[in-house]
Amino acid sequence: MIAPGTAHQGVRLGRVSAEARAGYRISFRGRTGRLLADAAGLAVFALMAFPIYWMIATAFKPGRDILSLTPKWFPAPFTLQNFEDAIARPFFLDDVKNSVLIVGGTVLLSLALAFLAAVAVARFGFRGRTAFIILIIGVQMVPLNALIIPLYLMLDGVGQTDTLAGVIAVYLAVVLPFMIWTLRGFVANVPVELEEAAMIDGCTRVEAFMRVVFPLIGPGLVATAIFGFIQAWNEYIIAYVLLASPENQTLTVWLASFTTNHGPEWGPLMAAATLTGLPVVAFFLVLQRWLAGGLTAGAVKG
């Protein structure tokens, strides 16, 4: 419940709290309403987060507790054996290295290219701008799964199947449209006057972009970097088709091939899944406060 004074102040400042936006004061009166909403919120959280908890819990359980008809809710006798088994499997470290190289290459290259293109679209009216925008939107419409065949044949023709470079090139193209489109919104939000001031002070046009615009769109760069990271780290089908030899594969391909002839070994599989998910979550948590606003600030701008 928000006090009338707060609400009034909120309006004056042009800021209405989240509660007021939801029509909270009207729909729920008093404590009960808030408690109901909180209970519902926690229930949603439990439903969404349980699978992740279950993965981690399973990963720390000894085998006999995993294969038990009555599930053990907590990994009470606690073991690291599953992790040791997972890491000891062939090609784990190779594939970790490959994933890191692919993600690093994709994120750095795509950020650079997307920033340049976003500046062009946001700051210049030029012949071909509309065509470029159509290209951006158009290629986003194409489902990657439909392109596997020609991509495979094309890269096969130039000897780039089973190489990390081929995969990076594909991921780069896949993440670029979204990145350009998002960064464009951020660049458009930086007042042109700032660049002009820098140019009057003696910067060239390019220097003005690099020294003024680039630092100011930090949140946009972070949001798009996270996007690129997740896409590249999580992608499966392209890596699965393009990378034939096990020492060249990525972590997701390694993970999907975990099942043995005797069916999956759930303990090591859940440990491996935890290890695969960990870097993304870590990357996310470090940068997440930039994110919620970041993604849509570009999108809402249109």
Partner 1 sequence: MGAAITTRDLGPVLHRPRRRRFNHLPYALITPASLAMFGILAFPLGMLVWLSLQHYGLRELIAHQGTWVGLDNFRVTIADPLFQQVVVRSLLFTVANVALTIIFSTLIALLMLKVSRPVRTILMGGLIFVWATPVIVAIDIWQWMFDYEFGVINYLLTQLHVGNFIHHNWFDDPLQGFIVITVVTVWGAIPFVTITLFAALLQVPDDVLEAASIDGARPWQIFWNVTAPILKPIFLIVTSLSTIWDFGIFNQVYVLLNQRPSSDYFVMAVYSYRESFGVTQYGLGAAIAVVMVLILIVVTFFYVRQTLQTAEIT
Site for partner 1 in 253-292 (CB under 8 A): 255-256, 258-259, 264, 266, 269-270, 273, 276-277, 280-281, 283-285, 288, 291-292
Judged by CB, which is closer to partner 1: 70, or 245? 70
- Say which residue the tokens 């006999």 belong to: 64
N-term to C-term CA, the chain: 34
Binding mask 39-58 for partner 1 (x = CB under 8 A): -xxx-xx--xx-xx-xx--x
Q: Which of residues 2-21 bind partner 1 (CB under 8 A)?
A: 10-11, 14-16, 18-21
* Amino acid in position 240: Y
Q: Which of residues 145-174 bind partner 1 (CB under 8 A)?
A: 145-151, 153-154, 156-157, 169-170, 172-174
By CB under 8 A, residue 77 contacts partner 1: no
Dmax over CA atoms of the chain, in Å, equals 74
Up-side HSE of residue 245: CA atoms within 13 Å toward CB?
9
DSSP letters, 241-257, are HH--SGGG--HHHHHHT
Closest separation in Å from C-beta 189 to partner 1: 9
By CB under 8 A, residue 74 contacts partner 1: no
- Cβ distance 274 to 60 under 8 Å? no
205-227 burial, b for 16+ CB within 10 Å, e for fewer? eeebbeebbeebbebbbbbbbbb
By CB under 8 A, residue 225 contacts partner 1: no
For CA atoms 131, 134, 140, 145, the dihedral sign is negative
Of the candidate spans 77-85, 90-98, 123-131, 213-221, the one that interacts with partner 1 by CB under 8 A turns out to be: 123-131
Helix or strand holding residue 172 (H, E): helix 164-189
Q: Which of residues 78-97 bind partner 1 (CB under 8 A)?
A: none
Judged by CB, which is closer to partner 1: 164, or 270? 270
Of the candidate spans 81-89, 90-98, 191-199, 212-220, the one that interacts with partner 1 by CB under 8 A turns out to be: 191-199
Selected from 77, 93, 129, 215, the binder of partner 1 by CB under 8 A is 129
Judged by CB, which is closer to partner 1: 88, or 159? 159
Closest separation in Å from C-beta 5 to partner 1: 15
Of the candidate spans 74-82, 86-94, 210-218, 251-259, the one that interacts with partner 1 by CB under 8 A turns out to be: 251-259
Helices (H) and strands (E) in the chain, counts: 18, 0
Of the candidate spans 75-83, 86-94, 212-220, 231-239, the one that interacts with partner 1 by CB under 8 A turns out to be: 231-239
Which residues have CB under 8 Å from 21's CB, separation 6+? none
Considering only CA atoms, give the Rg of the chain: 24
